[in-house]
Amino acid sequence: MALRSALSSKDEDFENLISSTLLLAATETTMGGVSDWYSHCIGANQLVRAFAAKINVEYSAYHQFLIRYLMYHDVLGAVTMRQTPILDSSFYKREIMGLASDFTHPMVGAHVRILSLMARICQLQERGVEWKAKPEESSFAIAQIYGEGAEIEQQLTCLKLPPPLPLLLCFVAEAYRSSALLYLYQVLEEVEGSALKSGFLEDKCEYHLDSLKQHIARVPLSSAPASALLFPLFIAGTCVKQPADKEFVRSKLSDLYHAVRFANILSALEALEVFWKSPRSALGWQQCLRDRGWNLALT
Report if residue 102 sits inside a domain: yes
Report if residue 162 sits inside a domain: yes
**Which tens digit of pLDDT belongs to each residue from 259-290?**
999 999 999 999 999 999 986 677 889 999 99
Q: How confident is the model at residue 104 (pLDDT cuts 50, 70, 90)?
A: low
Are 239 and 213 within 8 A, CB to CB? no
Domain that holds residue 91: 2-292
Question: 111 φ, ψ to 5°?
Answer: -55, 130
Find how far residue 229's CA is from the centre of its chain.
11
Report if residue 299 sits inside a domain: no
**Which tens digit of pLDDT belongs to each residue from 203-225?**
899 999 999 999 999 999 999 99
Total structural domains in the chain? 1
Report if residue 288 sits inside a domain: yes
244 Cβ contact list (under 8 Å, min separation 6): none
The amino acid at residue 149 is G
**Which tens digit of pLDDT belongs to each residue from 114-143?**
999 999 999 999 988 887 777 666 667 778
DSSP letter for 1, please: -
Report if residue 126 sits inside a domain: yes
pLDDT of 33 reads 84
**Beta-bridge mates of residue 104:** 111
Report if residue 278 sits inside a domain: yes
Report if residue 82 sits inside a domain: yes
Question: 143 φ, ψ to 5°?
Answer: -60, -40
236 Cβ contact list (under 8 Å, min separation 6): 179, 182, 209, 212, 213, 216, 245, 248, 249
Report if residue 193 sits inside a domain: yes
Helix (H, G, I), strand (E, B) or coil at 134: coil
